[in-house]
Structure 1
Amino acid sequence: MYKLFYYPRNASWAPHLILKELGVEFELVLVDRRSEAQKAAEYLELNPTGRIPTLVDGGSALFESAAIALYLCEKHPEAELLPQANSTERALCYQWLFYLTSTLQPELMIYFYPEKHTTNNNSTPSIVEAQEQRITDMYGILNDQIGDREYLVGNKISICDYFLFMLCHWGSGFKTPPIAFPNLARCLRNLASKEAFQAVCTTEGTKLDIYK
């Protein structure tokens, strides 16, 4: 049985959604960031980066959200959360997955933790303001990519959509939030209506009222 070390609405959110979607047995283990449990020696033995999430499968531990998600999707191909191998859709899926996790997500981290990116505390408001504009522009790119489709890649849900939902929800407090973009809003509302998303959000204490 899988064991996911998580914290609500953290980067573990997407892997949690995927585990629920797959319908496999898994155990959730809370890593309480409020007490910096991710820095505890026992956790560092599993994940030396001291970050969340970590997935344990048998005797193996895996970290990095995208790596965990890809591992799960490849191990359960029957769920078809990855397009067919060697197809154009598979290539596009990888492209947008890495855009989400290697471009958008790091920009969000700077927005939420500006103090880690400057030695001048007086500059943090300017960093936050600049980051919000940069990220809002990225949401616009994603809105254009979705177009008139229901999902980010192709005509069915894929691994990308779980990360899309997570990273868009993180920006829900922006002056121009993701749901202000029509295509993105349609996609997010569709995802929020799905059983797996609702179940995971209930477990993690996340309200979905903004998507109604």
Structure 2
Amino acid sequence: MYQLYYYPLNASMAPHFILEELKVDFELITVDRKSNAQKSSDYLALNPAGRIPTLIDNDLTIFESPAICVHLAENNPSSNLIPKIGDKNRSIAFQWLMYLTNTVQAELMVYFYPQKHTKDDKNIKSIVQAQELIITEAFELLDRELEGKDYLVGQSITVCDYFLFMLAVWADELQHPPLSFANLSRYLRGLAQREAVINVCKKENLSLRDYQ
């Protein structure tokens, strides 16, 4: 049985989607961010980065959300959540997963935690404003890519789609949230109808009303 150390609406959400999609046995173990439990000695023994999530798969411990998603998909190949070796879409899937992680998620982190990127609080407002523009450009790119498509890669759902849905949830407070883009909105509303998304959002106490 898999064990996912998680906290609602955190970076553990994407692996949570994957676990639900796979319909495998798994246990959710809450890491209470409110009490900074991710920095406790017990948790650091599992994940020296002190971040959420962590996955336990028998004698293997993995941290970093995209790495966990890839591990789950690769170890359940019949799911096709990552295209198989030899399929040209495999490289495209990794391209988009890296873009979502290294660009979209990274820029969102600066937006949410601007104080970590300056020593002068006077700069915080301008950092947030700049990040709004950068993140909006990223979603514009994704919106163009999704024109006429139900999925980011190929003709079936992949880890990229679940990762993007997680980021879209995080970005819903922006001036131009993902649902304000025509193609992204259609795409996200489609994903929101999937059983895995419905189950995870119920467990993590997230309303899908805006996606209906």
TM-score band, normalised by shorter chain: over 0.9
1:86 Cα deviation from its structure 2 partner: 2.1
1:44 Cα deviation from its structure 2 partner: 0.2
- Counterpart of 2:200 in structure 1 is 200
Give the AA of the match of 2:105. Answer: Q
Give the AA of the match of 1:53. Answer: P
Task: Give the TM-score normalised by structure 2.
Answer: 0.98
1:138 Cα deviation from its structure 2 partner: 0.2
1:59 Cα deviation from its structure 2 partner: 1.9
The percentage of aligned residue pairs carrying the same residue is 51
Structure 2 distance, partners of 1:26, 1:103, is: 30
- Counterpart of 1:137 in structure 2 is 137
1:95 Cα deviation from its structure 2 partner: 0.3
**For 1:184-205, what per-residue CA distance to the aligned partner results, in whole angstroms no more than 9, with x for missing partners?**
1111000001111001000001
- Counterpart of 1:99 in structure 2 is 99
- Counterpart of 2:73 in structure 1 is 73
Structure 2 distance, partners of 1:24, 1:160, is: 19
Structure 1 distance, partners of 2:142, 2:135, is: 11
1:85 Cα deviation from its structure 2 partner: 1.4
**For 1:87-116, what per-residue CA distance to the aligned partner results, in whole angstroms no more than 9, with x for missing partners?**
221111010000001111010000000000
Q: Residues 108-123 of structure 1 correspond to what in structure 2 (within 5 A)?
A: 108-123=108-123
**For 1:130-173, what per-residue CA distance to the aligned partner results, in whole angstroms no more than 9, with x for missing partners?**
10111011000001111101011111111100001001111111
Structure 1 distance, partners of 2:153, 2:185, is: 16
Q: Residues 52-71 of structure 1 correspond to what in structure 2 (within 5 A)?
A: 52-71=52-71
Give the AA of the match of 1:81. Answer: L
**For 1:41-91, what per-residue CA distance to the aligned partner results, in whole angstroms no more than 9, with x for missing partners?**
000000000000000111221000011000000000111111131222111
- Counterpart of 2:171 in structure 1 is 171
1:24 aligns with 2:24: yes
- Counterpart of 2:82 in structure 1 is 82
Instruction: Give unpaired runs (5+ residues) of structure 1.
Output: none
Give the AA of the match of 1:102. Answer: N
Structure 2 distance, partners of 1:86, 1:65, is: 25
Match of 1:14, SS state, is: helix
Instruction: Give unpaired runs (5+ residues) of structure 2.
Output: none
- Counterpart of 1:45 in structure 2 is 45
Structure 2 distance, partners of 1:12, 1:149, is: 26
Give the AA of the match of 1:7. Answer: Y
1:40 Cα deviation from its structure 2 partner: 0.2
- Counterpart of 2:184 in structure 1 is 184
Task: Give the TM-score normalised by structure 1.
Answer: 0.98
